[in-house]
Chain A
């Protein structure tokens, strides 16, 4: 499996570290809100059998965090984005 890093180009997956589902979001209440949101964030996962948005860290490369969209049935990668751009887009009021 090869991941097309926006900065470094296509590199082997062994250069990257995996950090799981990129769609879960950390609650911003600092623990003040209901527990359910934290439990969902820390433990519960959609775990889809198909396209999955996930966090990869280019540890042996440019050290940037990426959001990779990958088909879990075939390992085919549909899209690679910078995690920073994804996070900024999420913060923008729509």
Chain B
């Protein structure tokens, strides 16, 4: 039997007895015949939803079914960045709520997720981009989110090692969100799983949903590789495979699946102590506590379910990095990997009911899903429990595309590969 609560005392006690007493962080649950709520997908969003449901809403028995293992999907395949530097009214309050939940997460779930508010700096390279960042920063402030517009001197002081002599993409300044930063992504999955488990949630791994059973327009449960599991309500949080699972219920979604690649170099001495993004291309970089430089860029640009990408995108990402920090050319890549993103048609997510009674959808996170994990879980739990949207996620409706209320933060239209 492991410790029910992690603390300095449990660490000291375990150190004295050779770490022989740590129990599993969560039970390997056997599926029960019926639950009140089943979350399909044991990624960050599904686990967070199950945790907040169990914590704040009395909905009865809850299960999370996961086709693979906890931490094996997109929650462990991202660049760990958290921020709330959004501009549009439908987005800003939601991501700021997420940021606030990150700030109290470790104490709430009693798990060290290494939340590090090291600051996220978006660099600008033209006058027009500085104007756009000033506008974004002002919009953020109007939403109560911290933002600072830095001039060149302030950027140079903060990050002196960038290439300031680049004639093609001169750095002119940047927009800084000091409360943004990074969070250890595996710990988020494990921490939510452990916290949900302790509140009685069954976490069922290696259990793939193969069908959604309904009767007269109402959901009855899910068919899985481990048998039928009855459910009063079913919440879908399936990321890149949302279209497939929703199709089991006869739904067609405004989503395309695309591969996004991420990269990590071999470990280095401390070098980058915040998150920096290159504004003239698409490149973002931070340094993990192990020392590796973690970076990424654009999605590959065409539909994909292969959890690996192609070389032209790697070249493009690395060119962005070299234009920003030429010293990157001396580093060796340790690993690179791909995750499958549920790219929505307007670049914003969906947290809503579906036309099938008792079936709820959490999808379309594009490549911003990780930072949204706590608020997504919080708002999905609210929707599942009360049948009405949480106020900060009220704009994430499934029918907004038909109704013309798209939330297009980037302003590129219904082209998922451009968001």
* A52 touching B253 in the complex, CB below 8 Å, given contacts A43-B345, A43-B401, A43-B414: no
8 A Cβ contacts from A1-26 to B: 1, 12-14, 18, 20-21
Measured as residues with beta carbon below 8 angstroms from the partner, the interface class of chain A is: 20 to 34
The answer to whether B303 touches A46, judged by C-beta atoms less than 8 angstroms apart, is no
The answer to whether A42 touches B414, judged by C-beta atoms less than 8 angstroms apart, is yes
The answer to whether B305 touches A43, judged by C-beta atoms less than 8 angstroms apart, is no
8 A Cβ contacts from B338-373 to A: 345
Cα–Cα, bound, A56→B303 (Å): 12
The answer to whether B241 touches A49, judged by C-beta atoms less than 8 angstroms apart, is yes
The answer to whether A46 touches B243, judged by C-beta atoms less than 8 angstroms apart, is yes
- Residues on A with beta carbons closer than 8 Å to the beta carbon of B401: 39, 42-43
8 A Cβ contacts from B190-220 to A: none
- Set A13, A54, A73: member contacting B305, Cβ < 8 A: A73
Cα–Cα, bound, A85→B241 (Å): 32
Asked if A32 lies at the interface with its beta carbon under 8 angstroms from chain B, I say: no
8 A Cβ contacts from B402-419 to A: 402, 414-417
- Set A13, A43, A47, A74: member contacting B303, Cβ < 8 A: A47
Asked if B304 lies at the interface with its beta carbon under 8 angstroms from chain A, I say: yes
Asked if B252 lies at the interface with its beta carbon under 8 angstroms from chain A, I say: yes
Closest-by-CB residue of B relative to A38 is B402
Asked if B288 lies at the interface with its beta carbon under 8 angstroms from chain A, I say: no
Asked if A72 lies at the interface with its beta carbon under 8 angstroms from chain B, I say: yes
* A47 touching B255 in the complex, CB below 8 Å, given contacts A1-B310, A72-B303: yes
Measured as residues with beta carbon below 8 angstroms from the partner, the interface class of chain B is: 20 to 34
Cα–Cα, bound, A39→B406 (Å): 12
- Residues on A with beta carbons closer than 8 Å to the beta carbon of B257: 47, 49, 72
Closest-by-CB residue of B relative to A15 is B312
Closest-by-CB residue of B relative to A52 is B303
CB B271 to nearest CB in A, in angstroms, measures 31
Asked if A44 lies at the interface with its beta carbon under 8 angstroms from chain B, I say: yes
Inter-chain contact total with CB atoms closer than 8 Å? 66
The answer to whether A54 touches B414, judged by C-beta atoms less than 8 angstroms apart, is no
Closest-by-CB residue of B relative to A35 is B402
* A75 touching B256 in the complex, CB below 8 Å, given contacts A1-B310, A12-B312, A47-B243: no
Closest-by-CB residue of A relative to B308 is A75
CB B218 to nearest CB in A, in angstroms, measures 23
- Residues on A with beta carbons closer than 8 Å to the beta carbon of B415: 20
- Residues on A with beta carbons closer than 8 Å to the beta carbon of B310: 1, 13, 75
The answer to whether B345 touches A74, judged by C-beta atoms less than 8 angstroms apart, is no
* A18 touching B402 in the complex, CB below 8 Å, given contacts A45-B254, A47-B256: no
Cα–Cα, bound, A49→B303 (Å): 9
Asked if B302 lies at the interface with its beta carbon under 8 angstroms from chain A, I say: yes
CB A42 to nearest CB in B, in angstroms, measures 5
The answer to whether A43 touches B254, judged by C-beta atoms less than 8 angstroms apart, is yes
Cα–Cα, bound, A12→B414 (Å): 26
Closest-by-CB residue of B relative to A12 is B312
Asked if B306 lies at the interface with its beta carbon under 8 angstroms from chain A, I say: yes
- Residues on B with beta carbons closer than 8 Å to the beta carbon of A74: 306
Scan B241-266; emit 1 where CB is below 8 A from any A CB, else 0: 10110000000111111000000000
Asked if B301 lies at the interface with its beta carbon under 8 angstroms from chain A, I say: yes
Cα–Cα, bound, A45→B302 (Å): 14
- Chain B interface (Cβ < 8 Å from any Cβ of A): 241, 243-244, 252-257, 301-306, 310, 312, 345, 401-402, 414-417
- Chain A interface (Cβ < 8 Å from any Cβ of B): 1, 12-14, 18, 20-21, 35, 39-40, 42-49, 52, 54, 72-75
Q: List 15 A-B contacts (CB under 8 A).
A: A13-B312, A40-B252, A42-B345, A43-B254, A43-B414, A45-B243, A45-B254, A45-B256, A46-B252, A47-B243, A47-B253, A47-B257, A49-B305, A72-B305, A73-B306
